[in-house]
Amino acid sequence: MRPSKHSPFTPLTKSRLNGSLSSLPALAMDADGIAHDVRRYFCRTLGRDTSCNNTHYPYTALAMAVRDRLMERWQNTQRAYQETDSKRTYYISLEFLMGRALGNSVLNLDMGDAVEQGLYELGLVLEEIAESEPDAGLGNGGLGRLAACFLDSCATLQLPVNGYGIRYEYGMFRQTIQDGHQVEEPDHWLRNGNPWEVERPEFTQRVRFGGYTEIMPRWAGKMDVHWLETNDVLAVPYDVPIPGYKNDTVNTLRLWKAAATDEFNLDEFNAGSYTESVETKNAAEHITMVLYPNDASESGKELRLRQQYFLASASLQDVFRRWKLNHGNDFSNFAEKNCFQLNDTHPSIAVAELMRLLVDHESLGWDMAWEITKNTMAYTNHTLLPEALERWPVRLFKHLLPRPLEIIYEINARFLAEVANRWPGDTGRQQRMSIIEEGSDPQVRMAYLAIAGSFSVNGVAALHSKLLQQGLFHDFYQLWPEKFNNKTNGVTQRRWLAACNPPLRTLLSSTIGEEWIADLSQLQKLTNHRDDREFRHKWILAKQQNKERLAQLVLRECSVQFNIDALFDVQVKRVHEYKRQLLNLLHVIHLYARIKAGDTTSWTPRCVLFGGKAAPGYLQAKLIIKLINNVAHVVNNDPAVGDLLKVAFLPDYRVSAMEVICPGTDLSEQISTAGKEASGTGNMKFMMNGALTIGTLDGANIEIREEVGADNFFLFGLTAEEVHEMQERYNPEAIIHADPNLSRVMNLLEKSHFNQQEPGLFDPIINSIRNPHDPWMVAADFTSYLEAQEQATRLYQDHEAWVTSSIINCASSGRFSTDRTIYEYNHNIWRLKPVPSLPL
């Protein structure tokens, strides 16, 4: 922001405030020091006393004490980056699904014992007060959580990587279940303050919208384009600290909040329309009000496009601000020092915005600007569903972003010339590949813009990357094969094993040492202990404790009693037809039918848990949730069923729920139609915590199975190729007819056994199963799914064999750490050098 005489952010000349920080003594990391600070924050800063009878203030006081310790390391890390003028990567994402910060910070700062003891001195228990923290739910699911795991690994590897995102006032909606239906409620997660952010108004940026463009002569026949009469919005940064594991590095996630400009209000105010001026303020601030709760692109929503440009423009301008401090107006080696990783196409307007800043603001020629852009941007794709590829109507673009649209047209013209040069006369190909899709309502194809403007294009699992090259992006692969690569996803074992599974963490560390927390491949050493009786006994005890904790959650939230001796069978993820929660439910109905038929000799009791949100407008997904709840109601209340089978739908599935769910799971359901799930990451969290997987050859399941071996994975279903070639001649009627189990299940559904009060309610689901054009081919995989489930049942009965397989699953999960994933991004795409933090 330009400093004005009204601004408090005028340069400070003589102060020694900045330089003297390093001479502040480092804060105590022992129990007494922490207890002392917690008391001081509680009494003096928050002004509470013994009459305080909730956990919120103790939580806040502890968070502030932990934050102080982050702050010292944060400043030292940023100074180290600044002093070494290191190359940096910016991870730009519309979503960062961070979950809770307290437990993670305590783990990464290695303060666990000191905090627990310090709190004990104060009569508090960490686990209890940590529950006060609301999840930072700034994401939909896999893509947003991946971004959060990536930040953890970048800090742990001491890489100069900053996250850029949006500070949504309302995150992912909270889900309640009323009469079996999903009901959405707003998630006002900032209501009680957020101790994990630092507002940085001094780095506010200005983002332009609307207006029109005009060409004006500059000099020597050169032309300038001016973007005029825009409606500007301010972007105010809020920084979130991202600590590495035990290495004193703290990186930054910078989240932008939209605010109205002062002069805009003043204009209206002086024109005498006070209320209108407040309205424009409202309109500006709307941009960062709410996260779009769709995990597949929702087409044509103007506000979403505003969010995307707001993030891209504010972030790029922020990088330019820092660049100019060190390099003035010389952009010649910008690409050697900066890389932008685009998390799907959502921020891909950054390609056009970088061109605009270089050409319009920095007066670079087009060719040089394009060279810089192409060498700076890298794009990650997260979907194989063609209908989920983002497109924006040209007319919307023109109205909202006239100058960026002109730039996209220019990029497209030069790109199509390259295509014509490579394939002369192939107009069909030019049409297919054009960034602008022609038609009665022309569209901008964001993925094509991202590919054209990037030096790297990657998928997120081996199969996914292969299918992108052979299918969705085949034309582009032919043109630029060198751009395409794979980066198989991962998850951070700090949150998804060390922090969320204390019993197993203790057992692992006492067996093979603690190195696995920073090097997950160490888990392989567990195989040496798999036959050790004492180790196996402790393994079983840990799983029992975790199942107990999960059973308590299910009892509290669903009023369903899970018996921990039963097989805990879990599917938690966004509710989507391609993920096939329905297939899982058909198996549940099959088990119920068997019980009702008395077919229960040598039965393995099962507790089946579902969880996940449906996009509010996705009616079929919402109906599936209703069906799950209705089936659960019938099954759980039938005295003939008893403990043989329990079914529950856990409301409001989120990061902090998964932290309880994955340690307590025996069997992980990863049953998407082959070729549809890009990767999956929940599958990795379960495996790491010793669950066995039942799954299709889809996404990262394939690589998981490679690592654990075929004997330790319950495989079923068509392959992606078979799905593709069967689509033509798919005949679900014949399949149902040929399988008596499936016929019996369909019969229960069709005679409204689970909806006796509301006949016809589930017809859309029944019809989808019987539809020869069912893209998800639920019926096709039913028979083979049942066989795989029976294998799982048999192995669970042979409990020693199950435990061995559980150990092998955990031991083989090393590849699925984001430390490995980030190592690969860095090695092949970013090429950053690790930079240690300055000493405290």
Supply the residues annotated as catalytic. 382, 573-574, 579, 681, 685
Among 612, 610, 616, residue whose Cα is nearest residue 573: 612
Cα 809 versus chain centre, distance = 24
Residue 681 interacts with ligand 26Q (CB under 6 A): yes or no: yes
Among 227, 281, 803, 325, residue whose Cα is nearest residue 536: 803
Residue 524 interacts with ligand 26Q (CB under 6 A): yes or no: no
Closest approach of ligand 26Q to the CB of residue 458, in Å: 10
Residue 141 interacts with ligand 26Q (CB under 6 A): yes or no: yes
Closest approach of ligand 26Q to the CB of residue 249, in Å: 24
Closest approach of ligand 26Q to the CB of residue 439, in Å: 20
**Binding test (CB under 6 A) with ligand 26Q, winner from 75, 192, 213, 294:** 294
Residue 467 interacts with ligand 26Q (CB under 6 A): yes or no: no
Closest approach of ligand 26Q to the CB of residue 28, in Å: 40
Q: Which residues are registered as beta bridge partners of 235?
A: 205, 258
Residue 390 interacts with ligand 26Q (CB under 6 A): yes or no: yes
Of 230 and 719, the one with the shorter C-beta distance to ligand 26Q is 719
Stretch touching ligand 26Q by CB under 6 A, among 11-19, 292-300, 428-436, 687-695: 292-300
Distance CA 236, CA 215 (A): 31
User: What DSSP character marks residue 488?
Assistant: -
Amino acid at 432: R
**Binding test (CB under 6 A) with ligand 26Q, winner from 153, 546, 604, 679:** 679
Stretch touching ligand 26Q by CB under 6 A, among 51-59, 409-417, 675-683, 726-734: 675-683
Distance CA 246, CA 100 (A): 19
Stretch touching ligand 26Q by CB under 6 A, among 61-69, 136-144, 189-197, 805-813: 136-144
Among 118, 142, 134, residue whose Cα is nearest residue 191: 134
* Cα distances (Å, whole numbers) of residue 77 to 306, 531, 591, 836: 33, 45, 56, 7
DSSP H/E element including 15: none
Closest approach of ligand 26Q to the CB of residue 579, in Å: 8
Among 411, 406, 399, residue whose Cα is nearest residue 373: 411
Q: Which residue is nearest to ligand 26Q (CB)?
A: 142
Of 297 and 673, the one with the shorter C-beta distance to ligand 26Q is 297
Residue 670 interacts with ligand 26Q (CB under 6 A): yes or no: no
**Binding test (CB under 6 A) with ligand 26Q, winner from 297, 443, 755, 804:** 297
Of 382 and 445, the one with the shorter C-beta distance to ligand 26Q is 382
Closest approach of ligand 26Q to the CB of residue 531, in Å: 34
Q: What character string, x for contact with ligand 26Q (CB under 6 A) and - otherwise, covers 684-703?
A: ---------------x----
Distance CA 837, CA 840 (A): 9
| 706-710 own/partner pairs: CB under 8 Å, 24+ apart | 707/812, 707/813, 707/814, 707/815, 707/816, 708/805, 708/808, 708/809, 708/812, 709/808, 709/812
Closest approach of ligand 26Q to the CB of residue 423, in Å: 31
Closest approach of ligand 26Q to the CB of residue 585, in Å: 20
Which 3 state secondary structure label does DSSP give 669?
Answer: strand
Residue 142 interacts with ligand 26Q (CB under 6 A): yes or no: yes
Q: Which residues are registered as beta bridge partners of 603?
A: none
Q: How wide is the angle at C-alpha 727 spanned by C-alphas 726 and 729, nearest 5°?
A: 70
Interaction residues for ligand 26Q, span 365-384 (CB under 6 A)? 382-383
Distance CA 379, CA 130 (A): 36
Stretch touching ligand 26Q by CB under 6 A, among 26-34, 83-91, 141-149, 318-326: 141-149
Residue 678 interacts with ligand 26Q (CB under 6 A): yes or no: yes
Of 241 and 490, the one with the shorter C-beta distance to ligand 26Q is 490
Q: Which residues are registered as beta bridge partners of 236?
A: 257
Q: Which residues are registered as beta bridge partners of 458?
A: 380, 485
Give percent helix, percent strand, percent coil of the chain, each to the nearest 5: 50, 15, 35
Distance CA 660, CA 3 (A): 49
Residue 836 contacts residue 165 (beta carbons within 8 Å): no
DSSP H/E element including 749: helix 740-750
Residue 748 contacts residue 679 (beta carbons within 8 Å): no
**Binding test (CB under 6 A) with ligand 26Q, winner from 251, 489, 656, 809:** 489
Residue 460 interacts with ligand 26Q (CB under 6 A): yes or no: yes
Q: How wide is the angle at C-alpha 314 spanned by C-alphas 313 and 318, nearest 5°?
A: 115
Q: Which residues contact 73 (CB under 8 A, 6 or more apart)?
A: 109, 243, 248, 249, 250, 837, 840
Amino acid at 458: N
Stretch touching ligand 26Q by CB under 6 A, among 191-199, 657-665, 679-687, 726-734: 679-687
Residue 63 interacts with ligand 26Q (CB under 6 A): yes or no: no
Residue 237 contacts residue 203 (beta carbons within 8 Å): yes
Of 297 and 604, the one with the shorter C-beta distance to ligand 26Q is 297
Residue 90 contacts residue 377 (beta carbons within 8 Å): no
Stretch touching ligand 26Q by CB under 6 A, among 140-148, 227-235, 631-639, 809-817: 140-148
Which 3 state secondary structure label does DSSP give 306?
Answer: helix
Of 232 and 298, the one with the shorter C-beta distance to ligand 26Q is 298
Q: Which residues are registered as beta bridge partners of 484?
A: 457
Q: Which residues are registered as beta bridge partners of 436?
A: 444
Residue 143 interacts with ligand 26Q (CB under 6 A): yes or no: yes
Of 313 and 681, the one with the shorter C-beta distance to ligand 26Q is 681
Of 630 and 813, the one with the shorter C-beta distance to ligand 26Q is 813
| Token pair for 103 | 């437990």
Closest approach of ligand 26Q to the CB of residue 293, in Å: 8
Stretch touching ligand 26Q by CB under 6 A, among 138-146, 424-432, 596-604, 617-625: 138-146
**Binding test (CB under 6 A) with ligand 26Q, winner from 60, 76, 104, 140:** 140
Closest approach of ligand 26Q to the CB of residue 776, in Å: 14
Q: How many residues bind ligand 26Q (CB under 6 A)?
A: 24
Among 197, 203, 204, 279, residue whose Cα is nearest residue 234: 204
Q: Which residues contact 143 (CB under 8 A, 6 or more apart)?
A: 93, 95, 295, 343, 344, 382
Residue 298 interacts with ligand 26Q (CB under 6 A): yes or no: yes
Residue 296 interacts with ligand 26Q (CB under 6 A): yes or no: yes
Closest approach of ligand 26Q to the CB of residue 679, in Å: 4
Residue 824 interacts with ligand 26Q (CB under 6 A): yes or no: no
Residue 677 interacts with ligand 26Q (CB under 6 A): yes or no: yes
Stretch touching ligand 26Q by CB under 6 A, among 365-373, 428-436, 506-514, 674-682: 674-682
619-636 vs 763-770: helix crossing angle, rounded to 10: 110
274-286 vs 262-270: helix crossing angle, rounded to 10: 160
Of 297 and 338, the one with the shorter C-beta distance to ligand 26Q is 297
Among 708, 707, 685, 696, residue whose Cα is nearest residue 806: 708
**Binding test (CB under 6 A) with ligand 26Q, winner from 680, 695, 732, 814:** 680
Closest approach of ligand 26Q to the CB of residue 577, in Å: 13
Amino acid at 556: R
Q: Which residues are registered as beta bridge partners of 251?
A: 242
Interaction residues for ligand 26Q, span 32-51 (CB under 6 A)? none
Closest approach of ligand 26Q to the CB of residue 469, in Å: 17
Interaction residues for ligand 26Q, span 311-350 (CB under 6 A)? 346
Stretch touching ligand 26Q by CB under 6 A, among 47-55, 58-66, 673-681, 803-811: 673-681
- Residues of this chain that bind ligand 26Q (CB under 6 A): 140-143, 146, 292, 294-298, 304, 346, 382-383, 390, 460, 489, 677-681, 699
